[in-house]
Structures are given as C-alpha cells and as structure tokens.
Amino acid sequence: MAISSPITPGQVWFHFFGIVPVIAASIYSEFLEYKKNAPHPKLGNDTVKEDDKAVLLEGGGLQSASPKAKSSLLHLLFLVSAVTSFKIHHDKSPFSGKPILYLNRHQTEEWKGWMQVLFLMYHYFAATEIYNAIRIFIAAYVWMTGFGTSHIITYEKISVLLEFLVEQMMWRLNFLVLFCCIVLNNSYMLYYICPCTLFSLLWSMGRLVFLNQYNEIGSVMAVKIISCFLVVILIWEIPGVFELLWSPFTFFLGYTDPAKPDLPRLHEWHFRSGLDRYIWIIGMIYAYYHPTVERWMEKLEETEVKRRISIKTVVALISLSVGYLWYEHVYKLDKITYNKYHPYTSWIPITVYICLRNVSQNFRSYTLTLFAWLGKITLETYISQFHIWLRSSIPDGQPKLFTFYNPIFQLPIVELHAHYFHICCSKLFDLTNTLKVAFVPSRDNKRLAYNIITGAVIASVLYFISFIFLKIPQILDETL
C-alpha cells in the first residue's frame, strides 16, 4: 500500500521513544538468554503480505452477507459462550452483606462485552440496519461512566476517588489513544468515545466532589443533579452557547473528516457529545439510588413466595411493555429522525434492560465470562478497530478498509482475524496496566510528579529532535 501522507514528527518520535528502546531491550534480553542457556535453533518467520486489493466496505465484500448469516454468526457466538463460560457468582452486596448482586461488576462487564461484539460486527459488515442499536450501546457506555464515578464519589472516600481517577480512568482512557494520535497523526476526536467518556467523567466528578461532605443529603444531591441538567440545557439547547464555550478547545476537540472537509471543526464534537448529553446524569441518579434499590430488593426476597413472584411478574411485564412501545415508536424511526429523539429517550431501553436483567436473584447472579472478559478490554477493542480490525489509508480517515480479505474464504478469515484481533487487544490491555503500575505509583505523589515531569521533558525533547530531522532534507533541498 502506498504511503498517502508525509512522515510526521510524531512517527519519528515514536521510533525514538518506543520502537528503538523496545528493540534494543529485546536484543539485549535475547543475548542474556543465549548466554544463560544453550542456543536454540532459529525458527523461520513467515512473512504475511498485505492484500493490495482491499475492499471498501461500501463497495462490496463481507457486508454483502445476508442478515440471516450475520444473525447466525452472532447466535453461534452466544451459544459457544453459554456452553463454555457460563458462571454463577456468589458475591455479596457491599451495602447489606447479602447476595443481592444488583448491577454487580460481573454483570456490567458482560454488558459491555456483548455490546462491543455487536459494535465490531456493525463496522465490519457495514450493518447499517442496527445503527439505532449502536447509538444505544454508546449511550450505555456513557451511562456506566456516570454511574461508576458517582458511585465511588458518593459511597467511597475522596482519597479513593482521586486514586481511581488518576490511576484507573485518566491513564486508561488516554494512554493508548494518545500514542495512536501522535504516531498516526490522527485527531483525538477520531476516537470519539474517549472524549465523550472523559467529558462525562470529569463533569460528574466535578459536580459531586464539590461539597462532597453533603452528598448523603437528598436535597443537596437534588440541587447538584438539577444543576447538571441546567448546564447541559444551557450549552446544547441554546444556539450559540456551545460554540462560545468549546471554540477555545478546537485544537483538542476539533476534527475534519477527509470525506467531509467542509464541515466545521467542532461539528463532530457537537454531534457526538450532544447525542449522549443527558445520559451520564441519569447514571448519576441511578448510582445515588443504588443502595436504596438493593434494600428494596432485599426485602422483596424475604417476602412470601406468592407475593414475590407477583411483584417480579408485574415489574417484568411493565418493563416489556415500555420496551415494546419504545421499539415501535422510537427505535423503528429512520436514522436522522431517531438521532433527534435519542438524547431524550436513550435512558428507556437502558432502564428496561437493567430491570429485566435484575428481576430475579438467580438471573442477576449468572454471567457469561467470555463476554465479561471482552468487556474488560472494551476500550482497547474500540481503539484497535481503527487500525487492526479495519484500517484507513489517510490520517483522520474513518476505517473503511479490510485489514485482511479473501473473497473465497470469507467466514474463516473473519474468525481467524477476530481471534488475532482480540489477542492484540488483550496484550494492549495488559501493557496499559503494566505501564500504569510503573509510571503511576499508588499513593506516592512525589514520585508521580517526578514521572510526569520526566516523561514530559523526554517526550518533548525527542519530538523536537524528530521535527529537526524531518526539516533537514527540506533545508538541504533549498540550499542545493
């Protein structure tokens, strides 16, 4: 494949900062291993050549598979997962000490996992028929950010929150995507779920950390939540306010799609953030009432069998009825019309799913660990789909090219590619966490500040040297 853009300083910087040290360390470790043990015969490496005839998603290929074939693949995956990874959890509630497990971690990880599978299939097969469902999945991710952050702030110590924010979320959200932006010369908004999640994280944290000692008082929380709604209404519903607020951050949140160069730089941020502008607040509300709902469920489990079954049946029927009405009157709308309703209705299917998933003690304690594992590497799979699952040929381009393609063996290629892809994502997840331990020490602010300053200085110097190296040929051409 021909290089369609010039080499950037970021790419040269990455070789200095990343590839060269890794190669040097690998060679040195191999040398030490050679000295320690008897030498082993070298294995030949098979080179894999890229298919230059990669097919555009819009132009034919795997997306031509029938909806029945796509559905069969999905059902097969769920069947294999159910047979091989079905697990019953016996964890107890941190609030009551009883095995209620309402919206437990295993359940939310599984939730993220099967949503991510559908998200990858949507892009790979260009399955535009499930566009509205994908919008719901992204809203669910943002909802979980508001729910998880608010849960920690409200019911944990502030020190635990700050450690969670710095060590877990900020590093995890930005480490891999930052390298992708620098090395591949992409904009941060290309990976739009990252800024959307970061936005909901910081806003929910800011609102709840302020006067956090009063978070257990219902009236104070009501004022904070109402203020969140008012701020969102001010920014997104009143014309001109969004541009006024975010225009200073265009360098960070701006994005120009090569396929649509005439759109404003902040168009993508306005569209993506606007779709899920309210759902993170709904997550805050659900987190605040989480212990209350658990106590209600605890009392329900202690009632007589007949009354318990009746109440659960009523809850399930109401949830199904609401879900059906939403499906008929909102979900079936065309893409453009649906996007107008999405910010105000996305909480409905999320709530319906939560009610049905937790209606029974047994049902909420069951998970498919395969999807739970996939849920843990959701961020890595999302970012890697731009470069491993699919690819593009230009900076900031949407991924519309197959990484591997063979028109004869389509489904086997999909299966092998999916296996390879998730192995890479798992390794990226492990790498991110390993480097987090090294660079973001736990409860050692002095060392953390030293690492940040040192890393910033080294990265800046190497980037500057890379910039100079790229300028040398231009200077020589001008002088000759």
Tell me the domain boundaries of the chain: 76-443
Write down the pLDDT at residue 7. Answer: 57
Q: Residue 90 above 50 pLDDT?
A: yes
Rounded Cα distance between 73 and 124, Å, is 13
E-strand ranges in 104-263 read none
What DSSP assignment string belongs to 4-29?
-SPPPHHHHHHIIIIIHHHHHHHHHH
**Tokens 């209600």 belong to residue:** 296
- Chain centroid, CA 327 distance in Å: 25
Q: What is the pLDDT of residue 49?
A: 38
Percent of the chain at pLDDT > 90 equals: 28
400-459 tens-digit pLDDT: 777 666 666 566 777 788 888 888 999 999 998 888 888 877 777 788 788 888 888 988
Contact between residue 463 and residue 185 where contact means Cβ atoms under 8 Å apart: no
For residue 25, pLDDT over 90 is answered with no
Q: What is the dihedral of CA 167, 173, 176, 181, to 10 degrees?
A: -130
Q: What is the mean pLDDT of residues 213-232?
A: 85
Average pLDDT over residues 22-27: 52
Residues 250, 238, 252: CA angle, nearest 5 degrees: 10
Q: Average of pLDDT values for 22-28?
A: 52
**pLDDT reading at 105 higher than 50:** yes
Query: Which pTM was predicted?
Result: 0.80
Torsional class of 456: left (φ above 0), alpha (ψ -120 to 50), beta (otherwise) = alpha
Of 353, 381, 349, 375, whose CA–CA distance to 108 is shortest?
Answer: 375
What is the rounded CA–CA span in Å between residue 442 and residue 271? 37
| Mean pLDDT estimate for the chain | 79
| Radius of gyration of the CA atoms of the chain, in A | 25
* Paired tokens of 472: 């040398």
Residue 298 Cα to chain centre, angstroms? 33
Half-sphere exposure of 19 (CA within 13 A, CB side): 8
Task: Name the phi and psi angles at 190, rounded to 5.
Answer: -60, -35
Give pLDDT tens digits for 292-334. Answer: 888 888 888 888 989 999 999 999 999 999 999 999 999 999 9
Q: Which residue has the higher pLDDT, 86 or 52?
A: 86
The stretch 76-96 carries a mean pLDDT of 74
pLDDT value of residue 232: 93
Residue range 258-272: mean pLDDT, rounded = 90
- pLDDT for the residue 408: 60
312 backbone dihedrals φ, ψ, rounded to 5°: -65, -35
| Neighbour tally for 108: CB within 10 Å | 19
CA distance between the termini of the chain:
31
Largest Cα separation within the chain, whole Å, is 93
Chain centre to alpha carbon of residue 107: 17
* Rounded Cα–Cα distance for residues 307 and 309 (Å): 6
Q: How far apart are CA 191 and CA 46, in angstroms?
A: 33
Q: Look at residue 19 and tell me whether its pLDDT is greater than 60.
A: no
Residue 353: count other Cβ atoms within 10 Å of its Cβ.
15
Q: Picking from 188-192, 203-207, 287-291, 348-352, which range would have the lowest pLDDT averaged per residue? A: 203-207
Q: Tell me, what's the pLDDT at 321? A: 96
Quick one: pLDDT at residue 39?
45
3-state secondary structure of 402: strand
Of 284, 160, 296, 283, nearest to 221 (Cα)? 284
Would you say 192 and 119 are in contact if contact means Cβ atoms under 8 Å apart?
no
Side-chain-facing half-sphere of 194: CA atoms under 13 Å: 24
* Mean of pLDDT values over 84-92: 78
- Count of all residues that appear for the chain in the document: 480
Cα–Cα distance for residue pair 441/454, rounded to 1 Å:
14
CA dist., res. 77 & res. 96, Å (int): 36
Is the pLDDT at 47 greater than 60? The verdict is no
Residue 241 pLDDT greater than 90, yes or no: yes
Mean pLDDT of 45-55: 37
Other residues' Cβ atoms within 10 Å of the Cβ of residue 357: 18
What is the percentage of the chain residues whose pLDDT exceeds 70? 78
pLDDT at 245 over 50: yes
Report whether pLDDT(151) > 80: no
Higher pLDDT, 414 or 202: 202
Cβ atoms of 392 and 386 within 8 Å: the answer is yes
